[in-house]
Amino acid sequence: MDVHVVVAPVFGTNCCLVVADVEQPDGRRDCVVVDAGAGTAEGVARVVDELGLVPRAVLATHGHVDHTWDAAAVCDRYDVPLRLHAADAYRIADPFGTIGLGHYAGGPAAALSEALAQALSDFGRTPRDYQAPIEIETFDGDTAELVAGDVRLRALHAPGHTEGSTLYVVAGGARAGVVLSGDVLFAGGVGRTDLPGADVDAMLATLRGVVSGLDPALDVVPGHGPTTTVRHELATNPFLGG
C-alpha cells in the first residue's frame, strides 16, 4: 500500500492517505485518511482527485483536536465514518476542553490549548468553528484489524500521550511497510505526557512493549515532523534507550 502525506497548516500535523494496491474495475483505488488536522480537507480532496481514490474511512491516531479538526469535513465530503480507539472517543465532542481550554488557569495544558487556539485564529478559525463528525465508530482492545474497502491496517493500542493513542501499521508487500505513529513516537522524541489524560507509566509501557516490539524495518510517519524508521529510533532515540 502507498502512503501520501498532506501537512496541516496548523501545528504541522501529518495527515496520511493510505492507498490500497487493488484497483477497482473503474481504475480507482480505495483509501483511508488518517489524522485530518486543521486545514487538510482541501489537500486531501486534491490527492483523492489526482490519484482517483475512493475514501472509505477517516481514522485518528488519537483524539486531540490538531488531529481531528477537519475530520467532519472529510467525513461529510465522502460520507464515511470517523474511527478511533474507544478510550479517546470522548474527546471528539469536546476537543478543546479535553486538552484544558477553559478548565485550567495555567500550566502546560492551558499553554498548549491557548497556542492551538491562536494558531487556528491565524488560519481564520476559532474553537467555535469546530464540528464533530456525525458518525463515529470505535474499536477496543490492545490490537484490532481494521478493514475499510480494500484497505487493511493493524491498530495497536499505545496509551500514554492519551488514553486511546493508537499506532496504525500498514503492510508494505515486498517491503516491511509503514507505521503511522501519531504523537506516540517522533523522529528523535516521543509524545508529551503532561496533558489531561496522559500517563507517564502508560507511555513507558508503550515504549518498552509496543514500540520496541515493532519490526525494525518499518518506516515511521509520525503525527508531526519528519519521517524516520523504527530501526533508526531504536538505535538513536534517547527515550528508547538509543
Q: How much is the pLDDT for 173?
A: 60
Tell me the C-alpha distance between 124 and 108, whole Å: 24
Q: How much is the pLDDT for 116?
A: 77
Full-model pTM: 0.94
Q: How many domains does the chain have?
A: 1
pLDDT tens digits, 1-43: 899 999 999 999 999 999 999 998 999 999 999 999 999 999 9
Closest CA to 186 of 154, 155, 229: 229
Q: How much is the pLDDT for 121?
A: 85
Q: How much is the pLDDT for 124?
A: 85
Domain holding 151, by residue range, is 2-240
pLDDT tens digits, 89-122: 999 998 888 887 654 445 666 677 778 778 888 8
pLDDT confidence band for 123 (50 / 70 / 90):
confident
Q: What is the mean pLDDT of the chain?
A: 92
HEC per residue, the chain: CEEEEEECCCCCEEEEEEEEEEECCCCCEEEEEECCCCCCHHHHHHHHHHHCEEEEEEECCCCCHHHCCCHHHHHHHHCCCEEEEHHHCHHHHCCCHHHCCCCCCCCHHHHHHHHHHHHHHHCCCCHHHCCCCCCEEEECCCEEEEEECCEEEEEEECCCCCCCCEEEEEEECCEEEEEEEECCEECCEECCCCCCCCCHHHHHHHHHHHHCCCCCCCEEEECECCCEEHHHHHHHCHHHCC
Q: Which CATH number belongs to the domain containing residue 62 in this structure? A: 3.60.15.10
pLDDT tens digits, 133-183: 999 999 999 999 999 999 999 999 999 999 999 999 998 765 679 999 999
Q: How much is the pLDDT for 102?
A: 55
Q: How much is the pLDDT for 103?
A: 47
Residue for cell digits 502546560?
A: 108
pLDDT tens digits, 56-84: 999 999 999 999 999 999 999 999 999 99
